[in-house]
């Protein structure tokens, strides 16, 4: 990961296509973690041992074959199909039987529900796999919104924020031009799996004398300490789509 901006509040970029992936214990797929916010109180006793204690987690997963999903008691979960065959999500307690086959439509459910994933009828094919974005938040601690963006927009936050807020953008389809609102030039062109996140706790993380020495994205002298650098997104292809995630903490961390 790297800083998209050298301001006092940087966007941290990532590339899921080149990041490490972790195989599922049941062998049914892999997961690439994009963002994990550790539990501020040191742990969530409801989270199964070995899965870590977190307040929020955003990951890109590849479902390679049918099988059970891990349960996360006390966690709210949202899953968004990006591409690949449809997946039938069946709760063992009968709470829902959801056909996840329409791409870029988030589905929210109780992460503590034990469920099985099978290929939706007429969706499976030889050598196919489904790619999904998972957003998980610790109930009572924080909450998340997941939106799909297909038009030009600027990612910004008002300051100061009363509670900790984390915003994330990841390319789901097509190509996007990404520019810093304080500069005229493009920062980069992003394609699938590339993105960035911004955490309001980093307001004072970078002081003027701690900016990256090789930064060439903007004139540091023009920046105000503690200011946000807005990122401007412009679609470059007709199918371009971003997934925008906003995590808001319900109390001061």
Burial of 76-102, coded b for 16+ CB within 10 Å and e otherwise, reads bbbbbbbebbbbbbbbeeeeeebebbe
Lowest model confidence (mean pLDDT) among 35-39, 101-105, 161-165, 176-180? 161-165
Task: Give the mean pLDDT of the chain.
Answer: 80
Domain boundaries, the chain: 2-14+146-249, 19-139
Phi, psi at residue 106, to the nearest 5°? -60, 145
User: Is the fold of 2-14+146-249 the same as that of 19-139?
Assistant: yes
Cα Rg of the chain (Å, integer)? 19
Tokens at 73, concatenated = 């008691």
14 or 5, which is more confident? 14
Its CATH class, for the domain covering 19-139, is: mainly beta
Query: Tens digit of pLDDT for each residue in 229-246?
Result: 688 999 999 999 999 999
Cα dihedral sign for 80, 198, 53, 194?
A: positive
Query: Tens digit of pLDDT for each residue in 170-190?
Result: 999 999 999 887 665 567 899
CATH number for the domain whose boundaries are 2-14+146-249: 2.60.120
In 3D, which of 185, 200, 186, 197 has the Cα closest to residue 243?
197
3-class secondary-structure state, position 184: coil
Pick left, alpha or beta for residue 33 (phi over 0 → left; psi -120 to 50 → alpha; otherwise beta): beta
């Amino acid at each position: 990961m790297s800083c998209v901006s050298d301001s006092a509040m940087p966007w941290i970029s990532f590339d899921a296509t080149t990041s490490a992936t972790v195989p599922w214990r049941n062998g049914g797929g892999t997961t690439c973690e994009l963002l994990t916010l550790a539990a501020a109180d040191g742990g969530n006793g409801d989270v199964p041992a070995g899965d870590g204690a977190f307040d929020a987690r955003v990951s890109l997963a590849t479902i390679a074959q049918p099988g059970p999903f891990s349960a996360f008691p006390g966690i709210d979960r949202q899953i968004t199909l990006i591409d690949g065959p449809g997946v039938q999500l069946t709760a063992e307690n009968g709470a829902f039987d959801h056909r996840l086959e329409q791409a870029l439509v988030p589905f929210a459910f109780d992460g503590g529900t034990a469920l099985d994933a099978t290929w939706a009828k007429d969706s499976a094919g030889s050598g196919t796999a489904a790619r999904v974005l998972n957003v998980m938040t610790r109930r009572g601690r924080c909450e998340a919104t997941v939106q799909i963006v297909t038009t030009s927009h600027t990612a910004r936050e008002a300051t100061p924020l009363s509670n900790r807020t984390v915003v994330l953008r990841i390319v789901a389809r097509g190509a996007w031009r990404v520019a810093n609102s304080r500069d005229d030039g493009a920062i980069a062109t992003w394609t699938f799996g590339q993105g960035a996140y911004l955490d309001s706790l980093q307001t004072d993380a970078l002081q003027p004398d701690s900016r990256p020495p090789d930064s060439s994205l903007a004139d540091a002298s023009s920046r105000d300490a503690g200011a946000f650098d807005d990122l401007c997104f412009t679609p470059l292809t007709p199918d371009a789509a971003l997934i925008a995630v906003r995590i808001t903490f319900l109390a001061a961390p």
